[in-house]
């Protein structure tokens, strides 16, 4: 098992859940984007730190016990999340690197990264753009269709 500095959110696809790891330095917008995604049906797995383990051909995301059910809402502090907005254990489908819009390629080539020996697709998004949540849904849908 390894712990990564990332916020993890998940979206239901059919009968199963698929997770996205939001990566970036402190203040990059991980929690902010997660909160906006949760308003549109996504669920929180873990905020700021996520435990990863390998199960067969999948990378599984879980929440470290000490931060379970909590998320940082800048300006409010650490807040508890309702059980209906949580999922505890879910396969990771996508890695998302958060960056400022001016540093994102307009037409990037497909990218991937090995996590615990498993190749996962990677995209880069600007978390504070109004379209960030829509782009994330599109990226996840493309993976499902591939």
Q: What is the pLDDT of residues 5-24, one digit of tens each?
A: 999 999 998 899 999 999 99
Q: Is 145 helix (H, G, I), strand (E, B) or coil?
A: helix
How many percent of the chain have pLDDT more than 90? 84
Burial 1-24 (b: 16+ CB within 10 A, else e): eeebebbbbbbeeeeebbbbbbbb
CA 48 remoteness from chain centre = 10
Per the DSSP assignment, residues forming a β-bridge with 124 are 97
pTM confidence score: 0.94
The arithmetic mean of pLDDT across residues 59-83, rounded, is: 94
Hunting for tokens 């990771």 — which residue is that? Answer: 92
Domain residues for the domain of 39 are 2-145
Tally of domains in the chain: 1
Residues 6 or more apart in contact with residue 67 via CB below 8 angstroms = 46, 47, 48, 49
Token output for 1: 């098992």
If residue 30 lies in a helix (H) or strand (E), which one and from where to where? helix 30-38
Whether 3 shows a pLDDT value over 90: the answer reads yes
Per the DSSP assignment, residues forming a β-bridge with 71 are 79
- Give the span between the Cα atoms of 109 and 103, in whole angstroms: 15
Which CATH number fits the domain that encloses residue 79?
3.40.50.300
Is 103 buried (19+), middle (13-18) or exposed (0-12) by CB count in 10 A? Answer: exposed
Whether 46 shows a pLDDT value over 90: the answer reads yes
- Give the span between the Cα atoms of 81 and 103, in whole angstroms: 32
Token output for 14: 């059919």
């Amino acid at each position: 098992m390894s712990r990564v500095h990332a916020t993890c959110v998940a979206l239901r696809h059919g009968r199963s859940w698929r997770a996205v790891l939001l990566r970036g330095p402190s203040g990059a917008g991980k929690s902010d984007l997660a909160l906006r995604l949760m308003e549109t049906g996504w669920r929180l797995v873990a905020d700021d730190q996520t435990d990863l383990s390998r199960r067969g051909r999948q990378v599984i995301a879980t929440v470290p016990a000490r931060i379970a059910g909590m998320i940082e809402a800048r300006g409010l502090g650490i807040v508890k999340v309702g059980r209906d907005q949580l999922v505890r254990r879910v396969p990771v489908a996508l890695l998302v690197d958060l960056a400022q819009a001016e540093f994102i390629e307009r037409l990037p080539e497909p990218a991937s990264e090995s996590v615990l020996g498993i190749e996962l697709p990677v995209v880069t998004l600007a978390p504070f753009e109004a379209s960030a949540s829509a782009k994330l849904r599109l990226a996840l849908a493309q993976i499902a269709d591939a």
